[in-house]
Amino acid sequence: MSLQIPRPIDPLLHPLATGNYRIATPAIEAFYDLVARCLHYRIMGALIYGPSRIGKTRAIEYVRLLLAHNYSRITSYHAQCEHKPRHAEGPFFANLLEAVGDPDPNAGSNPSKRLRLSLRIREAVARSGGGTVLLFCDEAQIRRGFDLYVWSFLHQYKCRSGTRRRSTSCSQIHRRFRRALFARSSLAS
């Protein structure tokens, strides 16, 4: 008689072995609560920061899955905002277009990228039947006036389209002094 219990999954494919699992830590739950409060109180933007390598990207993935389960009519995106030595509108919009599923995010001029971004977001909102878009910008290093200009475009879009847009930026702690700049700007209102 064998004492081995058959495993439901091959041990090599187990989520612990592959590293493909998500656990709601207290910090991730607090992040989710913050996003839920922003939705409830109609806060347009939030800046989350922390030291590097603590799991901000994984937290975004977990929060998006939980939001999809609890708020099925909300559209959410996760954009990787690459840190560039020079700030340019084109690469920023290319990253956003990639996040919203555009087939060729690098094609076209900056105005055409803006239009395609607006179109893709409006299509997704129409499909979901809701009126709210959440944009999680990972590694968003808001450092100069240009970055604030691009953020202002994102928040002005909501006024033109009737879509309620919220954005959450995740950044490293050495950028935390920018939180005050972001909060004082008109973007946070």
Lowest mean pLDDT among 14-23, 27-36, 51-60, 72-81: 14-23
Q: If you search the block for the tokens 């809701």, which residue do you land on?
A: 130
* pLDDT tens-place string over residues 101-133: 999 999 999 889 988 988 898 898 889 888 888
* pLDDT tens-place string over residues 11-27: 888 877 887 777 888 98
Long-range pairs, 32-40, Cβ under 8 A, ≥24: 32/62, 32/63, 32/66, 32/67, 35/63, 35/67, 35/134, 35/166, 35/168, 38/166, 38/168, 39/71, 39/74, 39/132, 39/134, 39/166
pTM of the model: 0.72
Select 16-83+133-188's CATH number: 1.10.20, 3.30.70, 3.40.50, 3.30.160.
3.40.50
Q: What ranges do the domains of the chain cover?
A: 16-83+133-188
- What's the pLDDT at 164? 59
- What's the pLDDT at 180? 46
